[in-house]
Homo-oligomer: A and B are copies of this chain.
Amino acid sequence: MTAALVPELKPSSRLLLGPGPSMVHPRVLRAMSTPLLGHLDPEFLVIMNEVQGMLRAVFQTENAFTIAISGTGSAGMEAALVNVVEPGDKVIVGVSGVFGTRLADIVGRCGGQLVKLEVPWGQIFPLERIQEALAKEGKVKAVALVHAETSTGAQQPLEGLGMVCRDHGALLVVDAVTSLGGVPVEVDRHGIDVCYSGTQKCLSCPPGLAPLTFSLRALQAVRARKTKVQSWYLDVSMIADYWAEGKRAYHHTAPISMVYALREALRIVLEEGLEPRFARHRRHSAAVMAGLAQLGCTPNAAEGHRLPSLNCVKTPEGVDEAPIRKALLADAGIEIGGGLGPLVGKIWRIGLMGESSRQEHVFAVLAALEQALAKAGRKVRPGEAMAAAAAQYAR
């Protein structure tokens, strides 16, 4: 391999409307390309504080331990579990998609005793189901649920869960990878003990960091462990000393440029304000879903529990979906997602997250889908999907 074989970086321009990454604001790209400070530079320590403060605002928490893990969202998931779960600990995991399945897998790798609750993919867990499981299982260390199931587009209600877990002495662990910054994630109000996310979804920052927050109760559980955390890299007790103001004990080298990017992305989130941002996600979701309905696409997730950040729909009857996605990418430069696991070939996942959640993107994806479906021989009245979206906006 010689350098001559690798040409200049010239990727095509893309409109990212898949399950992540989402579009990144030019301000974030610019911040990311700022020349680096050292990771123990006094100025960088201020930046870490600022990021922590803004993450607390977005997580709607006062948790002191609110940081960004130096890895992608999946590293956040692993950090959440390896710190909490010791060998033999009983953990209830709600599985209704790929990411619940992954939680269950990691509990096993921690030596935890897995209690797997299941509902069909696309459904959610009613509060009573969790309550019953807790009542039945005796001593449970934690309950882990996916708030926004990226593989199905379902949004798990969180109301009341924290209280129920607290009553049974269990910690509540919540995956907010595809919700944080686009859908309310109220860590303190809902009594969530451990919550993690990724940067490349509703925060509209490139992937590479995993926002993570631990309640005091969760940290106490970590401190009361009898065994070392199995991961050195994700050991929260050591990472806490790295992020703690006044301590800053060297642990590992933070991904400085990614922290710059996240800082700018969080500034943009807070400039907009959480409530207007959530409303924006709902507005464009309603519009795109109205348009998709015209194209013969029905919602995948249960009614009343559909994520506005990731719009998952069954593909139109009789349409081979993969060539349509390929055409979208090739002809319009638009990325949307297909299904995972049992949903391969059956759904589309259209992300309107963060910077991707805009009116012009709704019309862009509907127009491109119309054209691709027409090209594939499906009867489509030109403009009908966009008209339906426009009507929804006009409501």
Query: In whole angstroms, how far apart are the Cα atoms of A194 and B38 in the complex?
Result: 28
- Interface residues contributed by chain A, number (CB under 8 Å): 84
Instruction: Encode contact with B along A248-281: 1 for CB under 8 Å, 0 otherwise.
Output: 0011111111101101101111110000000000
B109 touches A229 (CB 8 A): yes
Whether A193 is near chain B, meaning CB under 8 Å from some CB there, is no
| Known interface pairs A54-B6, A253-B20, A254-B207; A109-B230 also in contact (CB < 8 Å) | yes
Please, which residues of chain B bring their CB within 8 A of the CB of A206? 36, 255-258
B39, B82, B228: the one within 8 Å of A207 (CB): B39
Q: How far is the CA of A368 from the CA of B11 in the complex (A)?
A: 43
Contact A78 B36 (CB under 8 A): no
Whole-angstrom distance between the alpha carbons of A2 and B209 in the complex? 22
Residue of B with least CB distance to A105: B232
C-alpha gap A160/B121 in the complex (Å): 55
A262 to chain B, nearest CB (A): 11
Please encode chain A, from 91 to 105, with 1 for each CB lying within 8 Å of some chain B CB and 0 for all others. Answer: 000000000001001
* Given known contacts A6-B54, A229-B109, A253 and B72 CB-to-CB distance under 8 angstroms: yes
CB < 8 Å neighbour of A263 from B9, B21, B33, B71: B9
Closest CB of chain B to A251's CB: distance in Å? 8
Q: Give the distance to chain B from A226, nearest Cβ to Cβ, in Å.
A: 14
Known pairs A228-B109, A264-B9; A30 contacts B29 (CB<8 A): no
Q: Does A370 contact B (CB under 8 A)?
A: no
Interface string of A45-84 (1 = CB under 8 A from B): 0010010011011000000000000111111011000100
Q: Given A56-B1, A102-B232, is A208 in contact with B255 using a C-beta cutoff of 8 Å?
A: yes
- In the complex, chain B residues whose CB is within 8 Å of the CB of A233: 71, 74-75, 77-78
Whether B253 pairs with A73 at a CB distance below 8 angstroms is yes
A252 to B73, CA, bound (A): 8
Contact between B3 and A267, CB atoms less than 8 A apart: yes
Q: Check if A345 is an interface residue, CB within 8 A of chain B.
A: no
Task: List the B side residues contacting A198 at CB < 8 Å.
Answer: 253
Q: How far is the CB of A10 from chain B (nearest CB, A)?
A: 9
A110 to chain B, nearest CB (A): 8
User: Does A114 have its Cβ within 8 Å of any Cβ on chain B?
Assistant: no
A32 adjacent to chain B (CB < 8 Å): yes
Q: By the criterion CB–CB under 8 Å, are B70 and A250 in contact?
A: no
B228 in contact with A231 (CB, 8 Å): no
How far is A260 from B29 in the complex, measured between Cα atoms in Å?
12
- Rounded to whole angstroms, the CA-CA distance of A9 and B268 in the bound complex is 13
Most buried by B among A3, A36, A233, A267: A233
Are the C-beta atoms of B38 and A335 separated by less than 8 Å? yes
Residues A256 and B21 in contact, CB atoms below 8 Å apart:
yes
List of 6 A-B pairs having minimum Cβ-Cβ separation, nearest first: A208-B255, A3-B270, A33-B33, A74-B252, A206-B257, A1-B57
A-B CB contact pairs (8 Å), 13 listed:
A6-B50, A16-B38, A20-B253, A36-B206, A70-B75, A71-B71, A75-B233, A77-B232, A109-B228, A109-B229, A109-B230, A198-B253, A207-B256
Q: List 10 extra interface pairs beyond A14-B38, A206-B255, A207-B255, CB under 8 A.
A: A6-B53, A11-B34, A11-B43, A11-B44, A14-B36, A16-B36, A39-B207, A42-B329, A70-B75, A207-B256
